[in-house]
Amino acid sequence: MKDALILNAIVLLVVLEADLGQHRKIGWFRILRPFVTSAVAVAIFVKAVTTTGTGLTLELALAAAGLAIGLAATTLMTVYRSPRTHKPVSRAGFGYALLWIAVIGARTAFSYGSVHWFGHQLDSWMAQHAVTSAALTDALLFMAIAMVVTRTAGLALRARNLSPDDATEPSPRSAARIR
């Protein structure tokens, strides 16, 4: 559980620090950092990826959920060219932060609850479906990584696809249409 809490805190802090606010520069460091952070997390936390059965299904399902949440997060960001530098920048606000806080909060509640609230029921389910604790941990990790990597890839693609005409910050009304 301690590993999951640490990972959740790292993911939340890295994402919110990088994305919240206006005129957030989209450069190589902002794009590369989540991939490096994800690689380090995999190296530290992944014990043995499950390749069969319900454990594999769980890993794939949570990775797919992470992908969907990462795509949702991407839609909550506005990408445009800075009026000053004409380089790609982004803006993310309350809705974006709320999505990440809700998802990471739910993940943290699950990790805490698996030890303190519903541990017996979870253990029974895992035994009945032949899911190891390593598979569950890996599934949660894959979800977090999929969220971050999808958000980062979406941000990079949107920045790369900006036209030269996108040289000013969109108004709040037009920002809703651009997303």
65-88 confidence digits (pLDDT tens): 999 999 999 999 999 999 999 999
| Phi/psi at 171 (5° precision) | -70, 160
Q: What is the pLDDT of residues 7-32, one digit of tens each?
A: 788 879 888 998 999 999 999 999 99
136/133 Cα distance (integer angstroms) = 5
**Measured distance between the N- and C-terminal CA atoms of the chain, rounded to whole angstroms:** 37
Q: What is the pTM of this model?
A: 0.86
Number of domains making up the chain: 1
User: Within 13 Å and on the Cβ side, how many CA atoms surround 147?
Assistant: 26
The pLDDT score that the predictor gives to residue 125 is 97
Q: What is the pLDDT of residues 145-169, one digit of tens each?
A: 999 999 999 999 999 999 887 656 6
26/100 Cα distance (integer angstroms) = 19
Give the structural domain span for 43. Answer: 2-178
Q: Are strands 88-92 and 21-25 parallel, antiparallel or unpaired?
A: antiparallel
The pLDDT score that the predictor gives to residue 38 is 87
The pLDDT score that the predictor gives to residue 172 is 56
